[in-house]
Amino acid sequence: MATTTRVATRQGAAGRVALRWFRELTLVPVIVLLMIGGAIVNPVFFTTSNLIDVATGGAALGLVVVAESLILLTGKFDISLQGTFGLAPLLGAWLIAPKASEGLGTEWSPWIGLLIVLLVGLVVGTFNGVLVIKANFNAFIFTLAMSILLTGLQLGWLGGKTVYHLPQVYIYLGSDSWFGIPAAVWVTTLVFVVAELFLRYHRVGRAMYAIGGNLEAARAAGIRVDSIRIGVFMVASVLAAVAGLMQAGRVTAVTAGQGSNLIFGVFAAAVIGGVSLDGGRGRMVGALTGVILLALVTNILTLSNISSTWIDAVDGAIILLALGVARLIGTERT
Amino acid sequence: MVENSSGGLAEHQPPVGEALSVSKTFGETKALTDVSLAVFAGECHGLVGRNGAGKSTLVTLLTGLNRPDHGSIRLGGQPAPSLADRGAWLERAACVYQRSMVVPPLTVAENVYLNRPTRGSKSQLVNWRRMREKAHAVMLEWGFDVDVDQSAGSLTVEQRQVVEIARALSIGGRFLILDEPTAALEKAAVERLFDRVRRMREGGVGVLYISHHLEEIYEICDRVSVLRDGALVLTGKVAEVSQANLVAAMVGSAPPRRVTEIEAVKTRREPGRELLEVSDLVVRSRAGSVEGVSITLRAGECLGLVGLDGSGSSTMADAIIGLIKPEAGTVKVRGALIPPGKVDAVLKRGVGYVPQDRHARGFAPQLGVGENITLTVLDRVAPGMLGLISSRERDRIARREVDKLQIVAGSLEQPVSSLSGGNQQKVVVGRALAQEPSVLVVVNPTVGVDVASKEALLDAVGQARDQGMAVLLVSDDFEDLRICTRLQVMVRGRISREFNKPPWDRQELIAAVEGLTPAGERV
């Protein structure tokens, strides 16, 4: 009797492991369909250079998706990541670029510029984290206001112009390649892998799931819930700042509009990828499939002959469709 | 207070958990006064007391969530660690709370090892295989039958509790507090819980068992302590404390305003025709399941449904009103079957409802008194196809209820949120009465209400009853029951006892509600 139960349990466990992966990979069939569709729409789709384009396009987005997913897992969210994504590289660029290319004229070393990018992320993240967690501001309205403020600063400083002519060190991350693949793609992939492993195998990673799943239980278990949640806000904002740097490097300039409307795609990728808005549920593997899907959609729409004015509508429709598919297959989630 | 020698296995050792003349005051309220209590390894120590007696406060002191103003806590013979050191507290005193402390998205194994090292005490990394094996070993050691790879979200209430107990035991703590552990369990699950408690007791764990069900104390505990108004009034071996004494210790001397008998209905008349008929209702609910209850309610009578939290009495009201869909059974209003789980259909058939939580379901705070009262009769104040509100009709109906219930408000336009608690509750009752229902379902109508409002509310409901309404009053406040013509006591989802002739005997009623068998059958 006991042995049969044991065996049954084993099989049950194996089944559950399989199911867990199945849930994470819900989107794979959709991605395959999209790729077939892409090949039909335009033969250019399956060329190496185009696929690298897709990956590069997804790299910056992917980094912000990791950032937002970390916050979502702990049961909060941060809309101002898109503001940080724009403001951090702008501030760095502004202080290092000469007046002739719309800089401030201080012409600091590009290394200081990089430091400033990280610092902006750290400061914004700390500010958000402390005020949302400790002072108990509503995360939605507070980070929305922050987002508007950051984007506004970006526009105000630049007056609608673009900072260009950035030094090589500053654009390295977004423009250089290692072994034929853009550095940004390597970095984002690495961040995904590290985040996935951290969430699965580190005590703080597991504590984040506990916090998002049942805050009171986490507190009662002795988890330092406030420090961890503030820390997550900080890490996320730094990641968003680095993502902004990637984007700036890719286009070798910082525009006044960098980052605007980014956050919608970020939430969409995370949610399509199975990260719960209620916290405590979701994995980086899933979020990654969400990013790939969104990057593919953007690419295919560009390759197709759809008029650019219609791209947003089609984009929205496809995201709705993907949400539907994810929901349909994911209904057994408990 | 620990003068009694007990059947505990290890009284020669220092107690696993001990409060030494602790006192605690919150603002003006004295929550605990000079309470001493010791739990020894291998004993199950019952702690009982009415709501507000100080049980919860004592638990927060024993688990390090609060610091006593005076006195001290000792765990395993040593002074308690500082409040900041949660880890040290968790190792020595664990509590399974009424609300679940399980994290649903995680597996059972993770829940057992929540925030604890699985790869040596220094490492911050998680060893999944070790964690699963260790969690499985804990389950085996204590004979718990829960698959550790399962997601905790898919567990039953009972299994979640097992996970929490396993968590406490695996930390190594030998002092375990169970805070009303049976409140949400079915009968069979309660039996299995008792088995677990016995096993833990044999394994040298000291259990502090808090329960409203005195029956359980006699079943499982070695010693029992009674708290009343923040003071310890009795500690003794269960075998030496009679039920009558236990109830007497809990209730104390006669309450200030009333004698032991609850004032009876003054005018009584023969009940009329059957208005509400509930047959074999079965409802599953976290807030207390109902296991096959039938009641009938006639015009002009008021049936009091009495039970503790989790007894299923408030679930009955929810199911009748249609907020929860029952698994089985039927509800008939005036002979017509009600479609299950449809609130609007129920209300349309002439059932009025005063919900338990007035803030969540009772009123729209920003709207005026008049609008709130007439929310249930929109079809009458806004007649015709156009559906335009007739303010004269609205004011007429609202004025009638305001007068009947003596609602104190500046005007009919005054927002309900700005009223006192008592007047808010009157608005909620007024709203139910405005539709002139034939059946009125009322749940805890006088919670958090001042004395004068309480009288006004009960009088209004009593009046409605005299006018031929059938009233179902669900309450655990005995003073509410004075307007009842009949009482049924619910314990664990079933009707356990009926009282048909007022006045009600307070002692007898408490014994029934607490789940005691009629006096004389035990001890």
pLDDT digits 0-9 by tens, A110-146: 899 899 999 999 999 999 999 999 999 999 999 999 9
Top residue of B101, B107, B114 to mutate, by most chain A CBs within 10 Å, is B114
Q: Return the CATH architecture of domain A25-332.
A: Orthogonal Bundle (1.10)
Q: Compute the count of residue pairs across chains A and B with CB atoms less than 8 Å apart.
A: 82
Provide the pLDDT for residue B265.
Answer: 59
Q: What is the mean pLDDT of residues B431-444?
A: 90
CA A283 to each of CA A12, A200, B120: distance values in angstroms, whole numbers, following the listed order: 21, 9, 26
The DSSP code sequence of A31-94 is HHHHHHHHHHH-GGGGSHHHHHHHHHHHHHHHHHHHHHHHHHHTT---TTHHHHHHHHHHHHHH
Q: Is the pLDDT confidence value at B482 over 70?
A: yes
Q: Verify whether the Cβ–Cβ distance B100 to A218 is below 8 Å.
A: no
Q: Residue B167 corresponds to which tokens in the numbers above?
A: 């968590």
Q: Is the pLDDT confidence value at A238 over 90?
A: yes
Q: Verify whether the Cβ–Cβ distance B100 to A214 is below 8 Å.
A: yes
Top residue of B106, B110, B111 to mutate, by most chain A CBs within 10 Å, is B106
Homologous superfamily (CATH) of B17-101+176-251 is P-loop containing nucleotide triphosphate hydrolases (3.40.50.300)
ipTM: 0.76
Candidates B317, B286, B321; CA nearest to B303 is B317
Quickly state the pLDDT bin for B47 (edges 50, 70, 90): very high
Chain B partners within 8 Å of A223 (Cβ): 114-115
Q: Verify whether the Cβ–Cβ distance A210 to B117 is below 8 Å.
A: no
Chain A partners within 8 Å of B101 (Cβ): 214, 216-217, 220-221
Q: Where are the domains of chain A?
A: 25-332
| pLDDT tens string A140-195 | 999 999 999 999 998 888 887 888 888 888 888 888 889 988 999 999 999 999 99
Q: Is the pLDDT confidence value at B257 over 80?
A: no
Question: Which residue has better confidence, A221 or B1?
Answer: A221
Residues 6 or more apart in contact with residue A190 via CB below 8 angstroms = none
Q: What share of chain B in percent tops pLDDT 90? A: 22
Q: Verify whether the Cβ–Cβ distance B126 to A204 is below 8 Å.
A: no
Q: What is the mean pLDDT of residues A18-46?
A: 82
A201 touches chain B (CB under 8 A): yes
Average pLDDT, chain A: 86
Residues 6 or more apart in contact with residue B255 via CB below 8 angstroms = none
Window 351-390 of B: residues touching A by CB (8 A cutoff) are: none
A173: number of Cβ within 10 Å: 24
Q: What is the mean pLDDT of residues A194-214?
A: 91
A122 touches chain B (CB under 8 A): no
CA A277 to each of CA A136, A270, A271, A274, B171: distance values in angstroms, whole numbers, following the listed order: 18, 9, 7, 9, 32
Q: Is the pLDDT confidence value at A54 over 50?
A: yes
B124 touches chain A (CB under 8 A): yes
How far off is chain A from B418, nearest CA to CA, in Å?
A: 25
Provide the pLDDT for residue A61.
Answer: 94
DSSP letter at B203 equals T
Q: Burial of B5 by CB count in 10 Å (0-12 exposed, 13-18 middle, 19+ buried)?
A: exposed
Provide the pLDDT for residue B311.
Answer: 85
Provide the pLDDT for residue A118.
Answer: 95
Chain A partners within 8 Å of B90 (Cβ): 221-222
Total residue count of chain B as it appears in this document: 523
Q: What is the mean pLDDT of residues B255-279?
A: 64
Provide the pLDDT for residue A15.
Answer: 64
Question: Which residue has better confidence, A81 or B380?
Answer: A81
Top residue of A24, A225, A334 to mutate, by most chain B CBs within 10 Å, is A334
Q: What share of chain A in percent tops pLDDT 70? A: 92
Provide the pLDDT for residue A123.
Answer: 96
A201, A210, A281 member nearest B115 (Cβ): A210
Q: Verify whether the Cβ–Cβ distance B124 to A281 is below 8 Å.
A: no
A310: number of Cβ within 10 Å: 10
| pLDDT tens string A263-306 | 988 998 998 888 888 888 889 999 999 999 989 988 888 888 78
Candidates A97, A66, A83; CA nearest to A252 is A97
How far off is chain B from A297, nearest CA to CA, in Å?
A: 31
A203, A214, A280 member nearest B101 (Cβ): A214
Q: Verify whether the Cβ–Cβ distance A222 to B102 is below 8 Å.
A: no
B154 touches chain A (CB under 8 A): yes
A132 touches chain B (CB under 8 A): no
Quickly state the pLDDT bin for A209 (edges 50, 70, 90): very high
Quickly state the pLDDT bin for B277 (edges 50, 70, 90): very high
Q: Residue A164 corresponds to which tokens in the numbers above?
A: 């260009």
Are A184 and A173 in contact by the 8 Å Cβ rule? The answer is yes
How far off is chain B from A262, nearest CA to CA, in Å?
A: 29
Q: Is the pLDDT confidence value at B3 over 50?
A: no
B106 touches chain A (CB under 8 A): yes
Tell me the CA end-to-end span of chain A in Å, nearest whole number: 29
| pLDDT tens string B325-345 | 999 999 999 888 888 888 888
Residues 6 or more apart in contact with residue B376 via CB below 8 angstroms = B347, B352, B431, B432, B434, B435
Pairwise CA distance, residues B364 & B57, whole Å: 34
Provide the pLDDT for residue B51.
Answer: 67
Q: What is the mean pLDDT of residues B4-14?
A: 57
Beta strand B439-443 pairing with B336-337: unpaired
Provide the pLDDT for residue A240.
Answer: 96
Chain A partners within 8 Å of B125 (Cβ): 201-203
Q: Give CA torsion, residues B486, B492, B496, B497, to 10 deg.
A: -40
Average pLDDT, chain B: 83
Longest dimension (CA), chain B: 82
Q: Is the pLDDT confidence value at A89 over 90?
A: yes
Q: Residue B366 corresponds to which tokens in the numbers above?
A: 């920003």
| pLDDT tens string B167-225 | 888 887 789 999 888 877 777 788 888 988 998 899 889 999 998 778 888 889 999 99
Are B54 and B232 in contact by the 8 Å Cβ rule? The answer is no
DSSP letter at B93 equals -
Q: Is the pLDDT confidence value at A203 over 90?
A: no
